[in-house]
Structure 1
Amino acid sequence: MFSCSTMMHIPTSQFLKLSKFKPIPDPRCKTKVATLSMGCFWGPDSLFGSIKGIMRTKVGYTGGSEPDLPTYKSIGDYIESIELYYDPSKITYLDLLQVFWNNHDSTDKSSYRQYISAIHFHDKEQEQQARDSMKKMEETKSNSIQTLLMPYKTFYDAENYHQKYILRKYKIFLESLCLNDDEIKNTYAACVLNGYLGGHISETEKVRILDIGLSDEQLRYLEACL
């Protein structure tokens, strides 16, 4: 289970200036949506941002019933979650579920509802695939799976400082991107960079970094970071 308290502090850049970002347009494709909960949402935001076929990610709160809008400091019965916009021609919902199962402890019964494991299905097809994948996972576990399968409810975006949390740690680099808070939350470039700076993108996948329009100076900085 991802835990906010165990996330490592990431140092900011030692560069005084960086060339400004000249982004290419976000890839044009029809996307589908998946919504998952696997503990603190900072880690999954970076993890899924590194995966080919993920176009956008954002973190927030869902799965609750209380009438007041949830916030991080007043979350009520809502659950920290991540919303994924993916290209189904490059990655499937079942692929996303496999990443979900492999990257948190689904047998952990959190004492805080905020951090429970859950799959929020958007339609009947997602529900059936979630149930089938969970059944397969149960066959591999010695302890019972605690993951909840829930119909999707309204997703409330988390506060801006939670969106692309790892990318925001590199403050000078982030300033060079010239992205506003809405663009940090919703653009493909921010999604990929958050995955890269979380250490998830492999050497063979680094070509995706080259495709988003960074300057040579920004690329050298990224290399220095990792």
Structure 2
Amino acid sequence: MNKLQTYLTEAGVPAELHAHALASLQSARKPALIRFWLGLTAPIVWLFIAALLPRKAEQLPRWLRWYDNNISINGDRSDWALIDGQHVRMPAPDEDVVHDDGQHVSYWPPYSPRSFLPRWNFNGIRNRCGWLAKKWAQPLESIAYRAGLPVLDGEWGNPDIGRQVMGIRVACAGGVWQLVRTSRLWGGTKTENYGFEVLNANTIDRFATCTWTAWSWKGPKK
């Protein structure tokens, strides 16, 4: 029994679903790892991209698409608008704006989100190779949604896991699976995340991006 199957068993997923769950989870491994290793070069590559891009740019040219973003190279904090019944993210302004909740549009305030440092921070550090994440995602357009979130076919384990709550959570929607496990390590929290991010899908982003995180650690919450 491999590690993922052990986790499925511990979460209480019925044995007859294991084969389907494992096939879905493991299909995310190769694309997620390609994105991970390519993402390691993004901080360096984006030093050059951010220096050469015109301020009006929203996406990268096709030959640089692997380093592009699935939202916008200018960040994901601009306003939304309802156009023809669809929620559409508006282009980022050419100056930093502070929302009512105190959040800056820019990823390097007070500079314009279309300038060098915010673009490098968002694309080279925080959201690396986001275009690939969407390209290799599993579509969730045909499933039902409630309150903006996908209606799951099944969920097992502890839905409250997180930085303070240890355990395993398994979710499935539209035949697409995700497994998340948290455990204590060195006084902090180790997180494992496998499969496709069903739990992050919503009515705007109707897809589940691939993930294969065997090791992510955060220190004790202060």
TM-score by length of 1: 0.28
TM-score by length of 2: 0.28
Q: By percentage of residues, which structure has more strand?
A: 2
